[in-house]
Structure 1
Amino acid sequence: MLAYIAAGVFAFALLLDLFNENLGAPDLFNFPTLVLIGLLCLALYLAGVGRGPGTAGGGGRWYRGRRPGRG
Protein backbone atom coordinates (compact mmCIF):
# COMPACT_ATOMS: atom_id res chain seq x y z
CA MET A 1 0.00 0.00 0.00
CA LEU A 2 2.85 2.37 0.77
CA ALA A 3 4.27 1.74 -2.69
CA TYR A 4 0.99 2.93 -4.24
CA ILE A 5 1.05 6.03 -2.05
CA ALA A 6 4.64 6.72 -3.10
CA ALA A 7 3.69 6.33 -6.76
CA GLY A 8 0.83 8.77 -6.29
CA VAL A 9 3.07 11.29 -4.55
CA PHE A 10 5.65 11.00 -7.34
CA ALA A 11 2.96 11.47 -10.00
CA PHE A 12 1.60 14.52 -8.16
CA ALA A 13 5.12 15.97 -7.81
CA LEU A 14 5.76 15.38 -11.51
CA LEU A 15 2.55 17.19 -12.49
CA LEU A 16 3.38 20.12 -10.22
CA ASP A 17 6.85 20.31 -11.74
CA LEU A 18 5.57 20.06 -15.33
CA PHE A 19 2.97 22.79 -14.86
CA ASN A 20 5.31 24.90 -12.71
CA GLU A 21 2.72 25.17 -9.92
CA ASN A 22 3.31 25.82 -6.23
CA LEU A 23 -0.36 25.72 -5.06
CA GLY A 24 0.02 29.04 -3.27
CA ALA A 25 2.35 27.60 -0.65
CA PRO A 26 5.88 27.43 -2.11
CA ASP A 27 7.45 26.13 1.11
CA LEU A 28 4.87 23.42 1.75
CA PHE A 29 4.28 21.68 -1.59
CA ASN A 30 7.53 22.13 -3.45
CA PHE A 31 9.18 19.49 -5.62
CA PRO A 32 11.95 18.38 -3.22
CA THR A 33 9.50 17.97 -0.34
CA LEU A 34 7.16 15.77 -2.36
CA VAL A 35 10.07 13.68 -3.63
CA LEU A 36 11.26 13.17 -0.05
CA ILE A 37 7.76 12.10 1.02
CA GLY A 38 7.67 9.60 -1.84
CA LEU A 39 11.12 8.25 -0.96
CA LEU A 40 10.08 7.91 2.68
CA CYS A 41 7.03 5.87 1.66
CA LEU A 42 9.18 3.64 -0.54
CA ALA A 43 11.74 3.17 2.24
CA LEU A 44 9.01 2.21 4.71
CA TYR A 45 7.53 -0.21 2.18
CA LEU A 46 10.90 -1.86 1.55
CA ALA A 47 11.54 -2.03 5.31
CA GLY A 48 8.36 -4.08 5.70
CA VAL A 49 6.13 -1.48 7.32
CA GLY A 50 2.50 -1.70 6.32
CA ARG A 51 0.82 -4.37 4.32
CA GLY A 52 2.83 -5.68 1.43
CA PRO A 53 3.10 -8.84 -0.64
CA GLY A 54 3.52 -12.03 1.35
CA THR A 55 1.91 -10.80 4.55
CA ALA A 56 -0.99 -12.53 6.26
CA GLY A 57 -4.10 -12.28 4.15
CA GLY A 58 -2.19 -10.76 1.26
CA GLY A 59 -1.63 -14.03 -0.55
CA GLY A 60 -0.39 -17.53 -0.10
CA ARG A 61 -1.79 -19.98 2.43
CA TRP A 62 -2.95 -18.88 5.85
CA TYR A 63 -4.20 -21.38 8.38
CA ARG A 64 -5.79 -20.84 11.73
CA GLY A 65 -5.60 -23.81 14.06
CA ARG A 66 -4.89 -27.25 12.66
CA ARG A 67 -3.84 -27.54 9.06
CA PRO A 68 -6.27 -29.45 6.86
CA GLY A 69 -5.26 -32.91 5.72
CA ARG A 70 -3.13 -33.76 8.70
CA GLY A 71 -4.60 -36.59 10.76
Structure 2
Amino acid sequence: MKATQFLLCVLLPVIFLLGCGPTPPAPAPEPTDTRQASPAPAAAPAETSDTEEAMIRAFEEEQFQVEPPSFEW
Protein backbone atom coordinates (compact mmCIF):
# COMPACT_ATOMS: atom_id res chain seq x y z
CA MET A 1 0.00 0.00 0.00
CA LYS A 2 2.82 2.40 0.84
CA ALA A 3 4.49 1.72 -2.51
CA THR A 4 1.26 2.59 -4.35
CA GLN A 5 0.88 5.81 -2.37
CA PHE A 6 4.51 6.68 -3.09
CA LEU A 7 4.02 6.12 -6.82
CA LEU A 8 0.82 8.15 -6.98
CA CYS A 9 1.85 11.00 -4.70
CA VAL A 10 5.54 11.45 -5.53
CA LEU A 11 6.75 9.79 -8.70
CA LEU A 12 3.72 10.36 -10.91
CA PRO A 13 3.62 14.18 -10.39
CA VAL A 14 7.39 14.39 -10.85
CA ILE A 15 7.25 12.47 -14.13
CA PHE A 16 4.31 14.60 -15.27
CA LEU A 17 6.11 17.85 -14.47
CA LEU A 18 9.28 16.70 -16.22
CA GLY A 19 7.29 15.77 -19.32
CA CYS A 20 5.35 19.03 -19.31
CA GLY A 21 8.35 21.30 -18.89
CA PRO A 22 8.53 24.85 -20.14
CA THR A 23 7.63 25.32 -23.77
CA PRO A 24 10.30 26.70 -26.09
CA PRO A 25 9.94 30.38 -26.97
CA ALA A 26 8.17 31.29 -30.16
CA PRO A 27 10.47 32.13 -33.08
CA ALA A 28 11.11 35.82 -33.53
CA PRO A 29 9.30 37.38 -36.48
CA GLU A 30 11.48 38.12 -39.45
CA PRO A 31 12.45 41.78 -39.75
CA THR A 32 10.54 43.66 -42.38
CA ASP A 33 12.24 45.86 -44.90
CA THR A 34 11.16 49.45 -44.28
CA ARG A 35 12.94 50.89 -47.31
CA GLN A 36 10.78 52.07 -50.16
CA ALA A 37 11.28 50.02 -53.29
CA SER A 38 11.47 51.86 -56.56
CA PRO A 39 8.37 51.28 -58.64
CA ALA A 40 8.91 48.77 -61.39
CA PRO A 41 8.16 49.94 -64.91
CA ALA A 42 4.79 48.79 -66.12
CA ALA A 43 5.16 45.91 -68.52
CA ALA A 44 3.20 46.00 -71.72
CA PRO A 45 0.42 43.43 -71.65
CA ALA A 46 1.25 40.39 -73.71
CA GLU A 47 -1.18 40.02 -76.55
CA THR A 48 -2.56 36.57 -77.20
CA SER A 49 -4.47 35.50 -80.20
CA ASP A 50 -7.96 34.04 -80.03
CA THR A 51 -6.67 30.57 -80.83
CA GLU A 52 -4.11 30.75 -78.02
CA GLU A 53 -6.80 31.85 -75.57
CA ALA A 54 -9.06 29.02 -76.74
CA MET A 55 -6.24 26.50 -76.30
CA ILE A 56 -5.47 27.81 -72.81
CA ARG A 57 -9.14 27.71 -71.83
CA ALA A 58 -9.51 24.14 -73.15
CA PHE A 59 -6.39 23.06 -71.27
CA GLU A 60 -7.62 24.59 -67.99
CA GLU A 61 -11.03 22.97 -68.36
CA GLU A 62 -9.39 19.61 -69.03
CA GLN A 63 -7.10 19.93 -66.00
CA PHE A 64 -9.89 20.71 -63.55
CA GLN A 65 -12.38 18.20 -64.87
CA VAL A 66 -13.45 15.71 -62.19
CA GLU A 67 -14.86 12.35 -63.18
CA PRO A 68 -16.96 10.34 -60.74
CA PRO A 69 -15.33 7.08 -59.66
CA SER A 70 -16.51 3.96 -61.41
CA PHE A 71 -17.14 0.82 -59.39
CA GLU A 72 -17.35 -1.60 -62.28
CA TRP A 73 -15.61 -4.95 -61.88
Normalising by structure 2, we get a TM-score of 0.28
Rg larger in 1 or in 2?
2
Normalising by structure 1, we get a TM-score of 0.28
Q: Which has the higher contact order (CA 8 A, sep 6+)?
A: 1
